[in-house]
Amino acid sequence: MRQFHALKVSRLQDETADSRRITFDIPAALRETFTFLPGQHLPIQVEIDGKRVRRTYSICSAPGVAPLEIGVRIQPGGQFSGFAAEVLREGDTLEVMPPFGQFHATLDARQEKTYLAFAAGSGITPILSIVRATLEQEAKSRFVLFYGNRRQRTTMFIDDLYALKNRFAERLQLYFVFSREEQEFPIFHGRLDADKVRELYRTFCVGLQPDEAFVCGPDTMIETVKAALEEAGMPGDAVHIERYGAPRKSVNKPAPQPAADDGLANITVIMDGHRKSFDMPHAGDSIVDAAAQHGIELPFSCKGGVCATCRTKVAAGEVRMDTNYGLEPWEVDKGFVLACQSHPISDSVTLDYDEA
């Protein structure tokens, strides 16, 4: 069940001057619950000044070989990241939901694939987990990683990446690109915009025929890299994306609007085999907020349509979403929705949280 568990912070390390690595201690009884796929994230909840704050952070460690670790970039004025920088101490506990998310590698030791990754800033966090797990578990696969940052001193996980490069010298190509520091070779200076991605691809990926690509960064960088890779011949569904930060534009087609008459809709949620029902208006609050008003806590984190912690499947009826930045087109086609963005269209809706 997607509920919060109290996990002890066993280690806190400064990763750079403006980022921290948080390591959790997982009690034996929760090991299975906190099993994860490389690339997944953890919703975290904490009370700050009497207010409940939820954030979602990607896991940077690789499954099975290291403790559960996340990377947190300290944002000026950031509620959780400020707390993580100033208040959190080793030995404290945080409320953590089990790992979640569709941005992950599906690994198979028999595979021999070529993977690409583009990461910007703290977007390296899930990519580090994916690269490490892939190189460890698929002995014949190779990875090409392009990592953009402003400066070397604020580059997260740089030591981990160099260590991986040393371990897997033959199968990992690693390229850093810095936007605020001159480089000996101009190709490594600049931002990961369309021209830079084309130049990097032309220079370092010739003849590689990549099978899959993983892209994580801010919204504009994601769209730019995805378009450039498709232009280079990669099928759209081979390019996996994970955004961070607030999206700038909707990736949704216009949603159908609710019926003009606004009677109540009956919502049934199925979770862990149990059914609960409540009534709510067709317009106004989202299903997550309406459920909370009836004492039913549904999973959520960002409430912005990005993290997909609230993902559920419409088993019956119809809903409309305000925005969707967290679901892939195939998930929408299969009936998955973001409950934090959803409002009922039909008079009766059933949401199944047990459907993966």
Q: Least separation, in Å, of the C-beta of 1 and ligand FES?
A: 17
Are 124 and 70 in contact by the 8 Å Cβ rule? The answer is no
The 322-351 site mask, x for binding ligand FES (CB under 6 A), equals: ----x-----------x-x-----------
Alpha carbon distances (Å) from 269 to 45, 152, 279, 313, 321? 23, 48, 11, 10, 17
**Residue 115 or 336: which CB sits closer to ligand FES?**
336
β-pairing, 274-281 vs 239-243, is unpaired
Question: Which of 303, 318, 322, 328 touches ligand FES by CB under 6 A?
Answer: 303
- Report d(CA 216, CA 103) in Å as an integer: 9
Strand partners, 338: 311
From the list 68-76, 79-87, 192-200, 305-313, the region that binds ligand FES by CB under 6 A is 305-313
Of 118, 168, 300, 353, the residue at the interface with ligand FES (CB under 6 A) is 300
In the bound complex, what is the minimum distance in angstroms from residue 340's beta carbon to ligand FES? 3
Which residue from 307, 321, 349, 351 is in contact with ligand FES, where contact means CB under 6 A?
Answer: 307
Give the nearest distance from C-beta 304 to ligand FES in angstroms.
6
22: amino acid identity, one letter: I
- In 3D space, the residue among 207, 195, 224 whose CA is nearest the CA of residue 123 turns out to be 224
For 326: left if phi > 0, alpha if psi spans -120 to 50, otherwise beta; the answer is alpha
Residue from 60, 306, 314, 351 touching ligand FES (CB under 6 A): that is 306
Which one, 17 or 356, has the nearer CB to ligand FES? 356
Question: Closest approach of Cβ 52 to ligand FES, in Å?
Answer: 14
Q: Rule CB under 6 A: is residue 308 a binding residue for ligand FES?
A: yes
What is the DSSP-derived secondary structure letter of residue 296?
-
Between the alpha carbon of residue 24 and those of residues 104, 106, 189, the distances in Å are 21, 24, 36
- Which residue number, 94 or 302, has a Cβ lying nearer to ligand FES? 302
Report which residue's Cβ sits closest to ligand FES.
340
Q: 65, exposed or middle or buried, with CB in 10 Å at 0-12, 13-18, 19+?
A: exposed
Q: How far is the CB of 210 from ligand FES (least distance, A)?
A: 29
Q: Which DSSP string do the residues of 298-332 spell out, in sequence order?
A: ---SSSSSSS-TTEEEEEES-EEES--SSS-HHHH
Q: Closer to ligand FES at the Cβ: 154 or 309? A: 309
**Residue 144 or residue 291: which is nearer to ligand FES going by CB?**
291
Q: Enter the tokens of residue 125.
A: 């966090």
Interaction of residue 310 with ligand FES, rule CB under 6 A: yes
Interface positions, 243-262, toward ligand FES (CB under 6 A)? none
3-state DSSP assignment of residue 215: strand
| Alpha helices (runs of H) in the chain, residue ranges in sequence order | 79-86, 124-137, 158-167, 194-204, 219-231, 287-293, 329-333
# residues near ligand FES by CB under 6 A: 14
CB 273 within 8 A of CB 262: no
Task: Pick one of 168, 305, 321, 343: the residue that binds ligand FES (CB under 6 A).
Answer: 305
Least distance between ligand FES and beta carbon 35 (Å):
22
Q: Which of residues 133, 302, 337, 351 is near ligand FES by CB under 6 A?
A: 302
Of 98-106, 116-124, 177-185, 300-308, the segment contacting ligand FES by CB under 6 A is 300-308
Listed ranges 134-142, 173-181, 262-270, 295-303: which one lies at the site for ligand FES (CB under 6 A): 295-303
Residues engaged in binding ligand FES (CB under 6 A): 300-310, 326, 338, 340
